[in-house]
Amino acid sequence: MMRARGLFPLLLVLLLAAPARADDEVWQYSTIAALLAGTYQGALTVGELKTHGDLGLGTYNGLDGEMVVLDGKVWQVRTDGRPREAAEGVGVPFAAVIRFVARSTLEVPAGLDMAGLTALLETRVEDSTLIQAVRIDGRFARLKVRSVPVQTPPYRPLTDIVPKEQTVFDLTEAAGTLVGFRFPPDLAGANVAGWHLHFIAADRRTGGHVLGLTTGPARAALDPAARLTVQLLPGARLGKDAATEGAAVRAAEQAPGSGN
């Protein structure tokens, strides 16, 4: 594991391949390992986050809802399930963003579940060692999304909170956008390995972290990134081994819940 020491954040820059474009970067604040351990308080603001990208996801200080970054706007989805545009000064403990440019597109047929959708997306991943940013616009026959309630110190690990306290919403015939990333397994301590998606409705009335879905007709766009810049919080862990981190992430990110 790796720790950031001192009073100032540490910038960790990883080149996954020789960068070919100036916008070929995912910028991230803190790590999924730190979030899993209960690091829910950051010094980054929404206003600062916007300077690093226009598409992405994350959460808010105190674990106060799910973050969706789309077209340069940053949305906060609390446990009422309703997105609100986050104020510039709101604090962020974890987020990842990119200046999104669609490098490849594909049509998404109706009737795919999450496994089918991610398998389809994998067919367009030319280099599995790179991070893939994704945006999917369309209709969804079914969506299961969640958010979690704001926490107060002393903070508990994420795996202690999500299974018991998350609020789950079952949506039907929802039009909107999925945003997210595919991180390679070697970066499991930095972010969620595999595909990680958040949703926001076209009418901005619903959204959240995606637990499951059935597609309607949609269109996906992918943007591979060969550079990852991570600003680590003082004392934040980069991660453990990929297997241990992956099991903890699955427990937190894919935790089932009762519908609401």
Of residues 2 and 135, more confidence is placed in 135
Q: Is the pLDDT of residue 238 over 80?
A: no
* DSSP codes joined into one string, the chain: --B--SSS-EEEEEESS---STT--EEEES-HHHHHTT----SEEHHHHHTT-SEEEEE-GGG-SEEEEETTEEEEE-TT--EEEPPTT-EESEEEEE-----EEEEE-TT-BHHHHHHHHHTT-S-TTSEEEEEEEEEEEEEEEEE-----SSPPPHHHHHHHH-EEEEEEEEEEEEEEEEE-GGGTTTS-BEEEEEEEETTSS-EEEEEEEEEEEEEEEEEEESEEEEEEPTT-B--S-HHHHHHHHHHHHS------
Tell me the per-residue pLDDT of 39-57, one tens digit each, with 9 for 90 and over.
999 999 999 999 999 999 9
**pLDDT over threshold 80, residue 19:** no
Question: What is the value of pTM for the model shown?
Answer: 0.90
pLDDT tens for each residue of 67-100: 999 999 999 999 999 999 999 999 999 999 999 9
Domains observed in the chain: 10-253 (3.30.1330.80)
pLDDT tens-digit map of 186-200: 999 899 999 999 999
